[in-house]
Amino acid sequence: MRFFIDTARIEEIREAAGYGFLDGVTTNPSLMAREKVRDTDGHIREICALTSGPVSAEVIATDCDGMVKEGRRLAALAPNVAVKLPLTMPGLAACRILSAEGTAVNATLVFSPVQALLAAKSGAAYVSPFVGRLDETGTDGMRMVEEVLSIFRNYGFTTEVIVASVRHPRHVLRAALAGAHICTIPFAVIRQLAAHPLTDRGLETFLADWKKNSG
């Protein structure tokens, strides 16, 4: 399973790249706003230079023509830009046009397996089911991911599933068990993935024993 980082914060992307497990980046308008980004194009270019993996940049337009125009502009920023389009009817139409031009499209705000099927049929390179936000409505978000993966397997779609809106390490575990292609993870959850109290306790003991022996 590939690991993307779900952030627009340059320092987090740089640090994640340093650990060697950064396969791409996903941003969205809220994440860009959180970093108070003014020069969106410049910011996306800077992120693209930090990874050779795909960097999802989301359009703001909501009509098909506007999305296509904006998508073309974003795709021209760097060879590894993936254009993020919302899963709406105009978004699907724009997805078909941009995908046919060879642009990788990431269909975002996906909350049902059939929405994911529509995106795959429109040529999306990626679909992003939002598991955390679905969990919050009382529906099992990861079950949706399992169903999307079954549908894609049934019909041989090459569209890759990016598990998004990840809230905790268990989402990452279930994504890997389900065979999701990619999980996009906030930096705080990446930290949690590495942490285990028995690792910390074990290290303390090793160091204390070593000190006793050498002191």
CB of 192 to ligand G3P, least distance (A): 14
Could you tell me the smallest distance in angstroms from the CB atom of residue 101 to ligand G3P?
24
Binding string, 41-80, against ligand G3P, x = CB under 6 A? ----------------------------------------
What gap in Å lies between CA 159 and CA 21, rounded to an integer?
A: 22
Binding map of ligand G3P across residues 5-44, x = CB under 6 A, - = no contact: -x-------------------x-x----------------
- Cα 112 vs. chain centroid, distance in angstroms? 17
Q: Enumerate residues 176-195 that contact ligand G3P by CB under 6 A.
A: 184
Residues in the chain: 215
Four-residue CA torsion sign, 100, 31, 63, 76: negative
Residue 159 has what DSSP assignment?
P
> CA separation (Å) from 83 to 68, 89, 203?
10, 16, 44
Minimum separation from the CB atom of position 120 to ligand G3P (A): 18
CB of 189 to ligand G3P, least distance (A): 10
Total residues interacting with ligand G3P, rule: CB under 6 A: 9
Give counts: helices (H), strands (E), the chain. Answer: 11, 8
Q: Which of 84, 121, 211, 212 is catalytic?
A: 84
> Who contacts 210 (Cβ-Cβ below 8 Å, separation ≥6)?
none
Strand (E) or helix (H) holding 108: strand 105-110
- Selected from 5, 164, 172, 180, the binder of ligand G3P by CB under 6 A is 164
Active site residue 84: yes
Residues of this chain, 98-137, that bind ligand G3P according to CB under 6 A: 130, 132-133
The least distance separating ligand G3P from the CB of residue 183, rounded to whole angstroms, comes to: 10
As a 3-state breakdown, the chain gives helix, strand, coil percent values, each rounded to 5, of 55, 20, 30
Per CB under 6 A, residues contacting ligand G3P are: 6, 26, 28, 130, 132-133, 164-165, 184
Q: Which amino acids are annotated catalytic?
A: 84
